[in-house]
Amino acid sequence: MTNFTVHTLETAPARSRPLLEGLKKAFGFVPNLYAAIAESPAALQGALAIGEAFSKSTLSPGEQQLVALAVSEANDCQFCVAAHSTIAKHLAKADPALVAAARDREPLPDAKLDALVSFTRKIAEQRGFVAPADLAAFLKAGYTKAQVIEVLLGVGMKTFNNYVDHIARVPLNDQFKAEAWQPKRKVA
């Protein structure tokens, strides 16, 4: 299965333990992805710091979750699509129809949010080399240049998390299983 440990508070390196305790306090459990990242205290600290910075962006909590979901779907990350679907619906109170559309690569019923998801997905899939017309469409939808940078922050954050999941093959937490997801294309 995997050679990576999904750490507990007892098995994690000493410098990772307080960070995992903070996650447990915030969520009521430790998401397995972060428990795997805990193998490297520096990486866990960095992942949490970038997540904290992204949470302070001018994007709404629902928009932040749609960015995370779009990147995770584009990167075929089963863990992160399930996790962000759950978080979007239950913590960010996002419309379930928006979440379903983002998961399934369908147009979102809200034009501005559809522009956000489309732009985010293009950044992830094209490694940042988006066409000027795609950038213009995002700005025309009502977003700002600062939000372009914030979307890039979200893409970077989620790409790291997605790649950890791909390599470590992190099992879903029970809390995310109701939103389990399979990519439409075959992955290794």
CATH number at residue 132: 1.20.1290.10
Say how far apart CA 143 and CA 159 lie, in whole Å: 22
In a domain, 100, yes or no: yes
Domain region containing 100? 17-177
Domain count, the chain: 1
pTM for the whole structure: 0.94
In a domain, 7, yes or no: no
Return the ∠ at Cα 182 (arms to 50 and 112), rounded to 5°: 55
In a domain, 183, yes or no: no
| CB contact at 8 A, 181 and 68 | no
In a domain, 155, yes or no: yes
Reported as a pLDDT band with limits 50, 70 and 90, residue 187 is low
Which runs of consecutive H residues, i.e. helices, occur in the chain?
Answer: 17-27, 32-37, 41-55, 61-74, 78-90, 96-104, 111-125, 132-140, 145-168
In a domain, 122, yes or no: yes
- pLDDT for 24-58, tens place per residue? 999 999 999 999 999 999 999 999 999 999 999 99
34: nearest Cα among 173, 151, 154, 156: 173
In a domain, 40, yes or no: yes
Ramachandran category for residue 131: left, alpha or beta (phi over 0 → left; psi -120 to 50 → alpha)? beta
Say how far apart CA 73 and CA 102 lie, in whole Å: 8
Question: Which whole number is the average pLDDT over 100-126?
Answer: 96
